[in-house]
Amino acid sequence: MTDGENLDPAQERSEERILDPSNLDAERHALGLRFLQLLEEKELEQIRDLALELSPGDLSETLRPLNVEDTARILRLLPPDPLAEVLGEIDNRSLGALFALLDIDEIAEVLEEMPSDEAADILSELDVAQQAEVLAAMEEEEREEVSELMRYGPETAGGLMDKEFIAVGEDQTCGEAVALLRRMEEDELEDIHSVFALDRAGRLTGRLPLFRLLLSDPQAHMQDVMEEDPLYVDVDLDQEVVASFFMTHDLVSLPVVDHRMRLVGRIMADDVMDVLEEEATEDISRLAGVSVEEFGEKSAFRVARSRLPWLLGALAGELGSVLVLTRFEASLQSVVALSFYIPMIMALGGNTGMQTSSVVVRGLATGEVGFFHLGRHMLRELGTALLTGLAMAVAIYGLSVAINGDPVLSVVLGLAMLLVILLAAMVGTGIPLLLHRLGVDPAVATGPFITTFNDVFGLLVYLTLATLFLDLLRGGAS
């Protein structure tokens, strides 16, 4: 029995408080402070009432800055139904702490109130022994649905789908389909937009939007009024491809079929939004050279531990720069001014590479860029790099003449800048496209890898060009 059940038998959520959308951060911060004050005063009933006033999304965002223990203490006061709604929004650390406070029957009751896909996701966070105990405590229908979903890969259409769909035989009448809908609970119909039609083998053959179902003759058969050959995805399709398919066709829901075309589930647009956020977080983390796990992590030690391997890898890569500088030590000693411009050359090359690769990675993620259009994208980026490189070459030439008064060195700097920017654009465009073609996530080509590559080869181009000019000058002088 949860504390919320001890406090008050009323299970209904009070009228939701609508937070001001133009002042969300301030309102959520004030609410968070209020929760902490009530926790300190042990006003459990007021805590529960305040939590029930908020929408699941607002409550989860309000509790996000609180520590895990306080979050779990607040959530434990909620009845199963609203708690199930909030758990779909809350972070996994708070989830683990909350489940540590609940017994198996309470966890099973909460999961039964959730959509099957969210229940399967949460159950997968538990260890195997706990999973078995919770499943055993669940009602048979919910247990079978969740168990089936847990068999699919977490990043596939099967792992993304839920089982809350309506399907009828294609030979049934529209009146029979409407009667089926009327027998269902109100909360079961909230996210139903279409009725799917199946043949006698359970294979998907059609789809009928609810408004068309209600407007159709009750005596008409589904196969006569349904949309034939509806869009669908295979149960093993990668979730990124599913998300792209949703965006391409502006879908609200999408049926999922197995290898025999039998309907096994459906995917909703809100699930796809979660995928897009997850994939964007993953790509951003790789662009920055950090791990996905540190987003939302409050421990400085764990964050440092996750970043250290990336930094050590970058350190190892930058040893190449040291070797290049060692190789050209004589040139640097003879013209000390060469070393003054090394940071500028490296920085602009790295920035160009990051700009280019970021555009390509984003284009690959949205489907705007493809391997089979490699030539077109390379030409565009090279043209852009040529224009920006010429502008930067003229700028650095003018700065160098003004600072050092050496036109020969200034020419070297200008040419080096142009070549380094062109090289960085080629690397930033080509490597993500190549990795994508090889089936490797192109986001891994960015961040420390691109920066290190451009540092080493940018230095090599700059110092090689400078040495050649110096040798020509010496040869001309002798």
Tell me the pLDDT tens digit for each residue of 279-331. Answer: 776 766 665 555 555 555 556 676 566 666 666 766 776 677 777 777 777 76
Enter the CATH code of domain 3-151: 1.25.60.10
Name beta bridge partners: 169.
Answer: 198
Q: Residue range 436-458: average pLDDT?
A: 71
**Fold category of 167-239+255-267 in CATH:** CBS-domain (3.10.580)
pTM, full prediction: 0.62
For residue 442, the SS3 value is helix
CA-wise closest residue to 60 among 118, 102, 9: 118
The pLDDT of residue 448 is 64
Where do the structural domains in the chain lie, given as residue ranges? 3-151, 167-239+255-267, 308-477
Which residue, chain included where needed, has tokens 């959730």? Answer: 114
Cα–Cα distance, 116 to 149 (Å, whole number):
8
Q: Residue range 6-34: average pLDDT?
A: 73
Are 253 and 164 in contact by the 8 Å Cβ rule? The answer is: no
Enter the CATH code of domain 308-477: 1.10.357.20
Phi and psi for 240 in degrees, rounded to 5?
-65, -40
Q: Residue range 262-289: average pLDDT?
A: 79
The pLDDT of residue 171 is 93
Give the number of other CB atoms < 10 A from CB of residue 439.
Answer: 6
Are 3 and 44 in contact by the 8 Å Cβ rule? The answer is: yes
Q: Could you tell me the pLDDT band of residue 1, with boundaries at 50, 70 and 90?
A: very low
Q: In terms of pLDDT, which residue wins out, 434 or 117?
A: 117
Same fold, 167-239+255-267 and 308-477: no
3-state secondary structure 2-64: CHHHHHCCCCCCCCCCCCCHHHHHHHHHHHHHHHHHHHHCCCHHHHHHHHHHCCHHHHHHHHC
CA-wise closest residue to 435 among 420, 450, 452, 451: 450
